[in-house]
Amino acid sequence: MQISWYYYLIMIYIAAVNIFAAAITVHDKNAARRHRWRVPESTLLLTAALSGCVVMYATMHLIHHKTKHPKFMIGIPLIFIAELAAAVLAVVFLCGRV
């Protein structure tokens, strides 16, 4: 079975969003330390919702950033579960099987 070109596009998109998610999380942590301009929480959550939730969550734990905020520690895993459910439903709907 040959992988279609759109699977490569999806993989490139997910990789790019996750790299961006890690970068803005680290930037926000550094900005917080230096009392500088911060990344808005809505931007962080939007990036997580655009498929950057796994790497963002791991980065937050790795650098101890926003780990005391329930909005992030509960919200990001919920976003991941919703994305996973949507992906499973898409596969079932499009392919007719899991």
Full domain range(s) for residue 77 = 5-95
Residue 5 is encoded by which pair of tokens?
């070109």
pLDDT of residue 97: 62
Q: Give tens-digit pLDDT for 48-60.
A: 999 999 999 999 9
Q: Kindly indicate the confidence band of residue 5, based on its pLDDT and cuts at 50, 70 and 90.
A: confident
Q: Kindly indicate the confidence band of residue 98, based on its pLDDT and cuts at 50, 70 and 90.
A: low
Q: What domain count does the chain have?
A: 1
Contacts of 56 (CB under 8 A, 6+ apart): 18, 21, 22, 25, 44, 47, 48, 76
Phi and psi dihedrals of 33, rounded to 5? -65, -35
Q: Give tens-digit pLDDT for 41-97.
A: 999 999 999 999 999 999 999 999 999 999 999 999 999 999 999 999 988 998 876
Say whether pTM exceeds 0.85: yes
